[in-house]
Amino acid sequence: MKKKLYLIPVFCLICLAAGAQSRDFTQGKWVEVYNSILRELNRSYVDSLPSGRVQRAGIDAMLDALDPYTVYVPQEEQEDFQMMLNSTYGGIGAIIFKPDVNGNVIINEPYANCPAAKASLQCGDEIEAIDGVSTHGLTSAESSEKMRGKPGTKVVFSVKKLRAGDGWKAGDVIQVPVMRERIVLPSIEYAGMLNGDDGYIMLSKFTDGVGQGIRDAYNSLKAQGMKRLVLDLRGNGGGIMGEAVNIVSLFVPKGSLVVSSKGRAQDSEVQYKTTSDPVDTEIPILVLVDSGSASASEIVSGALQDYDRATIVGTRTYGKGLVQSIRPLPYDGQLKVTTSKYYTPSGRCVQAIDYSHRNEDGSVGHIPDSLTHSFTTAHGRTVRDGGGITPDFEVKAKRYSRLTYSLVMNGIVEEYALQYVKAHPSIPPLDDFHFDDYEGFIAFAKDKEFDYRSSARAMFDEMRKALEQDGLTEALSDELSALEKSLDMDKEKFLRLKEEEIIPFIEEEIVVRYYFQEAGIKVRLRYDTQLQQALLQPAITY
């Protein structure tokens, strides 16, 4: 019997070695097959083989078979990749608008304290040439690419000025040299007091150093009399995990577990704990989340919920509990690869059970309780896994009509704002400004081409197509005509009907062109019904 027992570990080692050899053989087999196919295509394919495009497509298809977040980034896409990771790029700091490929580039939104604004480029100024190259014939993307470049390099614009200034008249074309800088788009888009008691921080992404930024914003708000903190993570798709840990560490005791990650290897579990003293472990915190709150946003909201340290309000979060790491590849490429899943302090995995049951925006769909597991918070409340963080209080965002979405997505509101700026050299201070020319907007919008159908009319058109495929339109002709007539609405009438929900978007687009992006956020908060309802929810206290 003892001899047989001694054989068991040896047998296990043999099996492990065989398994490793099998994996190595399988990988080697497919590499050989892949290379053989490429050689044969290069030798025999009827047309000239676009090798680079074919091989890139093969890499992308291979990674697509894994998960949506494991991607290959070649050297030529590094700038865009860094922009995605850190919200930085080399350029002049302005959003441009180019309605016509044969027209000029229009300065749409210069960023505060950035090179474009420092060089007195204003909304409505038209760029006719970039470093001597005419913008006529260039696409918006091509124009933007010419504006970007290494920080410290100079770009010269031929600019047709909208208004008179120091040494020029309105309509003059002048040469404007601009020194490019490293443009850092703010992760903390706004921090301020909502009222006498509630401090508010809007965090749009988790980039390097943002934890210290939240600490500084908190201290500033506290000095202004803040008695409750509102941390807005709506639409925040995540970022650097370490910064999520840094933010949680501000509000829980030192040494607290924030998140743990587990990969394929049995010894791969890593625990991330707070390593610094908190700034405040008692102030009430309200965290706003929605279906766009993902990854690091879910780490923060999940940890604060597990410790009963914050009240989570809004709608269920995205459901991305995967950790990506950056691996270097030959020829300066990079592989962003999923290496582990993360778990909140109570043990919940935020990752959705699968990738197939998702909503249109990619967030996790309905997961029945029978497929989830229950966990308990620090004070014994029940929370569940299965996908995303479920808020303590569900408060849905305002729903807008299809017309309003169409006006915004088709740039109608944006175009009108540019026209408004040309006609108004100035506007009242932000707190006093309210848009009062809706008739002017109607006159502008009704002549523009955009899809102004209601949701009901759009569904009717889809139904009609289905009936045509089934050969039923003739049999239902009278009924369809009556329903179509009832759903038809004149564009101008529909615009008047939706005045109340369209005006906030117009106001936001206008104010950013006079007072920069922070002013637009203040206008947005002015009409934010979800935030207003969230402020009424009771705090979780023990």
Give the integer Cα–Cα distance in Å for 296 and 233. 10
State both tokens at 368.
């029945």
CB atoms within 10 A of CB 471: 8
Find where tokens 């506007």 sit. Answer: 427
Give Cα separations from 184 to 88, 92, 94, 112, 113 (angstroms).
Answer: 4, 11, 12, 11, 11
Structure token digits, residue 247: 């933010």
* 51-61 burial: b if 16+ Cβ within 10 Å, else e: eeeeeeeeeee
Q: Which of 480, 313, 497 is nearest to 402 (CA)?
A: 497
Distance CA 257, CA 302 (A): 12
Show Cβ contacts of residue 328 under 8 Å, excluding neighbours closer than 6 positions. Answer: 334
Catalytic site includes residue 320 = yes
Residue among 125, 232, 290, 306 flagged as catalytic? 306
Q: Residue 29, exposed/middle/buried by CB under 10 A (0-12, 13-18, 19+)?
A: exposed
Judge contact between 269 and 235, C-beta under 8 A. no
Has 205 been annotated as catalytic? no
State yes or no: is 498 an active-site residue. no
Alpha helix stretches (DSSP H) within 45-109:
51-64, 78-86
Report the alpha-carbon distance of residue 258 to residue 67 in Å, rounded. Answer: 25
* 506 Cβ neighbours under 8 A, 6+ residues apart: 413, 416, 417, 435, 438, 441
End-to-end Cα distance, the chain? 60
The set of residues, in sequence order, having a beta carbon less than 8 Å from that of 476 and lying 6+ positions away, is 467
Question: If you search the block for the tokens 């203040």, which residue do you land on?
Answer: 522
SS3 285: strand
Give which of 224, 222, 225 is closest to 251, Cα–Cα: 222
Which of 320, 340, 392, 528 is the catalytic position?
Answer: 320
Residue 333's CB: how many other CB atoms inside 10 A? 16
The active-site residue, picked from 256, 295, 340, 363, is: 295
Helix ranges (H only) for 424-498 are 438-445, 455-469, 477-487, 491-497
Number of H helices, E strands in the chain: 16, 21
Rounded Cα gap, residues 33 and 44, in angstroms: 16
Could you give the residue numbers annotated as active site?
Answer: 295, 306, 320
